[in-house]
Structure 1
Amino acid sequence: MNQEPGSLIQLYLEEIDIVDAVEVHEFVIASAATAIANAKGRNWVPVIVKQVGAEAYEAIANGFIVAAAEEAGLHKVWCLVVDGEDATHTSVRALTQAHIYKINLATASRDQIKVALDYLINRTNNPLKGVKLLTATERIAAAPRQYWKESLMDLTALKCGITKGAKLNILKEVFYTVPEALPDRITDAALLTGLTVTELKKMAKEQAIEGYSKMKKADLVKALSQT
């Protein structure tokens, strides 16, 4: 029997497939199991599921409740059925904090950058300790982000306390970028500085700059920015 999206139903635990691993500490599961038991065996927060067969469902969010119900000795749990649309799943996972929407750093506004950085800096697990919110926000917002590589390594050249490793990796939890193609001729020194020596020499060759092959990076940037 097909269930209508929005239906609140009870399902046997064996009817629910947990697709994503339940990354919750066993202490949290035990605490939730105790809460369910104290509520007379009712999980007042439903498991969010989509139907994949006549009597088969996949947990989209709140999957840890299935583990807690099993720990509490239940055979059934209350579930909310949603449709199979990708947009629905993304929305549900965001609303249950199982998923965070990432921001395209190439097009993000200053306020979006500030709020995202503030979220990361004020987390309990904080690899960004020492990073000054306003300084990092202003330097990122002013940078030519539309040309940054997908690795976001260009961030480390801003000298705002964000270095490669743990600090850069945690930024990838909320930021991504889809870089635009570089223009044929660049004169912006800040953008040129973010390029590699190989890239700069290629551009210098194309622009017929004399002696480019022996130039250091600073000289290449100066020569290209003046053409």
Structure 2
Amino acid sequence: MNTGKEIETSRLWLRPGKNERDSSPFLLMLRNDGDFQQYCGARFSEENLSRFANYFERVNDEMCMYSLFLKTDAETFIGYVGFHREGDGTFELEFYIAKEYRRNGYCEEACRAVIGQLFGEGLSVNGKLLSENELYATTLAENEPTLGLLKKLGFTQHMTEDGATEVMQIVVDLETGKWEGIHTTKKILKKEQCLQKSDFGDIIPQNNQCNE
């Protein structure tokens, strides 16, 4: 879990996620949004919603989540940004912003701060400093807003010897037992791509290069 300090951006406070503080507003946000399939791959249901009850302090999971608060309203949770370790050892970016706060650039601003910190001096996870050289993101292939954001952040298509990483996943509805296929695509951002300080905030060193 995130054991680091707050991060400040021009408009946001990024606070280490805590279930006690953030779980209830997060679940309410998902319920009010109504359809979070683009977020988690599963259709909205109370059963699926319950899976996110302890999202910010998941056990046995190397992850680092920041809850987002506006500087103009420092008590209202508006979403989160962070990353988690996948089974293959890679780290994946994830984020979610409440509907009423979208299209304001908040998610991009928060992502740049976290990525800059991860690629720079590092982030504290379970009391240990973690710094990475690359970061992945996976989203539904038709999720144009997320794809657009990832492009702005500098993510490119993840390529293997067989070509672009695009997968058809099977998702089972826990309430009905029905299944459906979802088409996902994987993107990658490498530390060496962070060439300009302005891209990832004041955390990137003054020489405009990522830390080596």
Q: Which TM-score band (shorter chain)?
A: under 0.3
Higher strand share: 2
Larger Rg: 1
Higher helix share: 1
TM-score (structure 2 length as normaliser): 0.21
- Higher relative CO (Cα under 8 Å, sequence separation at least 6) belongs to 2
